Structure 1
Amino acid sequence: MEYSKTYTVKDEHIDVQQIVDGLYYPFYMEWCRHDFIREVLDFDFEAEAHKGNNMVLSRYTLQFVRSLKKGDTFQVTCSPMLDKTNKAVLHFRQTILLNNKIVTKAVFSGTCVKAGGGRPFLPEGLLSKLEGAPEWDGEL
């Protein structure tokens, strides 16, 4: 189940080299991932936070392949993957594509935690929507 959104580089994201500053690539991926989680997985971050359930990142790995430039229109993809050994962790394989060529690729891993503490978990409603999702093979 791959999800995709299209964005255009914002002028304020350009650095002195006239390319996108490296710190913005994870933000573009976050925007896409959050829309996927909200629209497809039906997980409302704000409503869940009010109930004391926080979805948080536990790690990410990102590889830069090429740079985005001012005015580029690009796609960001997001595909969920289950963890082979830890049912409380969800992974998202993501890419930024420009003209169908990989610009950046990453895997973001996260879980849910209760605001008051406790063990990490994934809500049943989320798990049921992820049924049949592939397991992460550890590769970008």
Structure 2
Amino acid sequence: MRDYRGLCYTLPEVRALPYGKGLIAFERLLRAVMSNFPRGKCHIGAYAVELCFGISMVAGDFCAQGERLWHAWNHDPRLDVHVDITARQFEASLPRALVTAQPQHLYAISEKSTVDLHIGPRVLPETIERHLIAAGFL
């Protein structure tokens, strides 16, 4: 198992971000209302983060243990950090709300590998949208 300490923000550092506490609660909500979250749900998680927190959705590859797997996550250009609430689908030792300023160790952004090309138009499932509205995120 890879040691990610030093690459990812600690929980207190994540909570200190302007949207940190909300991001942690947001991930918990999605985990509670979506079956098998985050497995195969990166595009939904990243799009929901973009809608609720205004953090741009990006796509490319998640690089872990010699593998490169298509993935979607978020990038906050104001703070120059990458935010990912679905990375645990690749490795359980990752934080539930992963934030890193060192994306080169985990991610490879690709202009040719957008969500629209892999998944189709960005759409939030209606049931998820209802839960986000009820919780005050939308």
Same fold? TM cut 0.5: no
As a proportion of its length, which structure holds more helix?
2
Q: Which has the higher strand share?
A: 1
TM-score by length of 1: 0.29
Structure showing greater Rg: 1
TM-score (norm 2): 0.29
